[in-house]
Amino acid sequence: MKKHLFLALFASLFSFSYGQPRIEEVVFPKSAHLFGLYEIAFQLGDYSNPYDPNVIDVYAEFVAPDGKTFKTNGFYYEGYSFSKEGNTEKALANRDRGWRVRFTPDMAGTWSFTLYATDRNGHSALASTGDTRFGFQCMEVATAQGFISKGNDRYLQRTDVEDGERKTRSFFPCGPNVAWYEYTGSTSAPNGIYDYERYIDALDGNANFMRIWLTRYQYLSLYGPEYTQRTNNKPKVYFDSTLNQKDAAELDFIVGYAAQHGISIMPCIFTYGDFLEDGTFKGDASCWQNNPFHTLLGLESPTDFFTDSEAIRLSKNLIRYIVARWGYATNIACWEFWNEVENIKSGKLGTDPFHRNIVRWHEEMADYIRSIDPFRHPITTSTVHFKENKYLYRHIFNNLDIVQWHTYGNIQKAKTKEQRSHQLFVKSLAVRKMYPDKLFFVGEFGFGQEKKDMKYQDKDPYGFDLHNCLWASLFSTSMGPASFWFWNYLEKNDLWKTFKPILTFSNHLPKLSESFSPRHTASIKGHSTVFPNGIQAYYMMNEAQDTLYGWCQDTAYSYQALRRLTDKVGKNLHFDNEGVFDPTGYVYTLNPAKKPKPSSGSNTVTLPISNQPIGTQYVVRWFDGETGLEITSESDTVAILKKGLFQPRTISFEFPSSVRDVKNGRINNTFGDAAFIIIRAQDDTKNGDTPQGNAANKTKKIRVKKAAGSQ
């Protein structure tokens, strides 16, 4: 086993003026791996508030092999070890205390660094002297995952190392929310990291993303009441000069374990639940009455959080700590300031002055986080009640990288034939129009939040609605498919694998330009959404219209259609509340005898193409919607047609008969769907690891069916 070489240096080797901060017992590795964690440990003595840079400001300056410099803030650290009793986490503080600097080298070669510490008594710098070098050798690696960053104004990208070669690819975050762990019996017995260990194990290979919260008092929270530590039966409260080091150690584990399993993380720093005055979440410890910004700092109203100078200073200290401790992680997808900030529901919420304060707060915090994050992670916040005429929604994302929207909807009512996937797609387009030059993401979606709506989820045990929403939202020009909220539903029904086909397919996509725009094939007739030939299609196409990516499904396999096959509705046109439930239906059993037949006798899908000449040929590749794998037995070459003088130009291609066998009247996969990649034929001769190159290699081996085009 290869051993890491460590070097310990003591401050006695260096001379310091009396009263200056003393950097002592520095321990650092002499080598590191490309895109791997490099951590320096050292001691500084005791300070009244190690989380306040006005009391003690600690950082390191790294110099890369090419001379570029990186400044990374240090942080105070207390070690914890964890054990498991049943499902309960037991945390034990150990003697490992002191200061840390965490860094991630992005270049092979020789690096050097200098440590700095400043307090009220002066300034100290600890650098290389004589034969002693503060530095390390960064080694090349065969495989590694680098940082996630903005690729352009539509999509993220990631720099990886594969077979020793550095490559930059599109990164589509695909996965659910797992916002917190649970607790057993009482808030004093959290499941802790062992819930996240189980969640991440379930996501491994099925997803590449999860969203978590960093503040919910009974669960993981860096400040506020800690219910596992009590005095006189009251929880210990962490704030300002203390942060919850037990929960920070939990987050260390979560971030590291997720990275090992290929899962990126969107950590959310604040949530509206901590600022609620009206007790919306009954029995929830997270509320304004327990919030230390109220109980210890003395803010009278939640709205004061956005304007009080001390609250702003303490918020920056918290953000600084988060960036210093976890900013090194290449699997941090982005920083999220707030979960649904407008849901604070203060009496001043509807007024422009309060909205303007929220916007100003976000502007200031975005500037601050960019000034301290050497790795430039993208920044977002989230809202839920988008209204174009409201100041908050028109301006809150101005200084952020990612527009994030949350949406929930109860589609139980049988009178509507509009499936949730279509609503999610169309509403996402409307929100996206407000910020056409920003990354966009649906950070939460679900099918209702009331207890009665959970019945709706329970009656979709195979995740048809979830499956359809994920596929449709991928092509809305969001930076990834919408992130589902109800992880308890995923666990109960073992639906973690629902994300896998979308992830598998998206791995076939190259770096996408921001010229792609979303489309669908629906038309409105009366109060119904109608798709030609019983095939719903959602896709995106670039400005040149030489590349299309999309998804098709037989309309009989929307969740609403499957429910109508067996369930009767009640007097209020609801399936669940008054309706008659037939548990033998296909949507509940996947019984082949109950499986719907194709909605029509035609497999033809027709899409408009206006920017290419008549006769231009395209290669069509198909991917199974249930697995995301390519259907290699069927690939068509089709051409642009124009049926009449005043008719638009179109391409028509055939849904793969291996999935939708209209000749024999059957559907051959679970969800009746397939995804497609369509590339202009002359572009399909490109070599390399791209869809175009792969398609070019395969067209020699598969049946090619040509459609005649008029010149």
CA separation for the pair 572, 183 (Å, rounded): 38
CA separation for the pair 572, 579 (Å, rounded): 9
CA 475 to the chain's CA centroid:
16
Single-letter code of the amino acid located at 541: M
Residue 17 has pLDDT above 50, yes or no: no
CA separation for the pair 381, 360 (Å, rounded): 13
CA separation for the pair 421, 468 (Å, rounded): 6
Number of helices (H), then strands (E), belonging to the chain: the values are 14, 35
Residues of the chain with CATH 2.60.40.10: 6-141
Return mean pLDDT, the chain. Answer: 88
CA separation for the pair 141, 35 (Å, rounded): 9
Residue 58: which residues within 8 A CB-CB, separation 6 or more? Answer: 44, 73, 74, 75, 99, 101, 115, 116, 117, 118
Listed residue (282, 223, 287, 281) closest to 251, CA to CA = 223
Q: Tell me what pLDDT residue 349 has.
A: 56
Per-residue burial over 455-490, b if 16 or more Cβ lie within 10 Å, else e, is bbbebbbbbbbbbbbbbbbbbbbbbbbbbbbbbebb
Residues of the chain with CATH 3.20.20.80: 176-400
pLDDT in tens, 619-659: 999 999 999 999 976 668 888 887 766 778 999 999 999 99
Confidence of residue 125 (pLDDT cuts 50, 70, 90): confident
Give the helix/strand (H/E) hosting 468.
helix 464-474
Strands 650-654 and 630-639: unpaired
Burial (CB < 10 A; 0-12, 13-18, 19+), residue 592, is exposed
Between 497 and 560, the more confident residue is 497
Which of 104-118, 237-251, 632-646 is predicted with the least confidence, judged by mean pLDDT?
632-646
pLDDT in tens, 272-291: 999 988 755 555 677 899 99
| Secondary structure (3-state) at 602 | coil
pLDDT in tens, 695-706: 333 333 323 333
Determine the topology of domain 176-400 in CATH.
TIM Barrel (3.20.20)
CA separation for the pair 663, 598 (Å, rounded): 10
Q: Tell me what pLDDT residue 344 has.
A: 87
Q: What is the DSSP string of 613-662?
A: -TT-EEEEEEEETTT--EEEEEEEEEE-B--STTSPPEEEEEPPTTTEET
- For 6-141, give the CATH class: mainly beta
Looking up tokens 């000749």 gives 663
C-alpha separations of 611 from 511, 543, 544, 607 in Å = 22, 8, 6, 13
CA separation for the pair 499, 628 (Å, rounded): 10
Q: Tell me what pLDDT residue 3 has.
A: 35
C-alpha separations of 5 from 2, 28, 29, 143, 572 in Å = 9, 9, 6, 22, 71
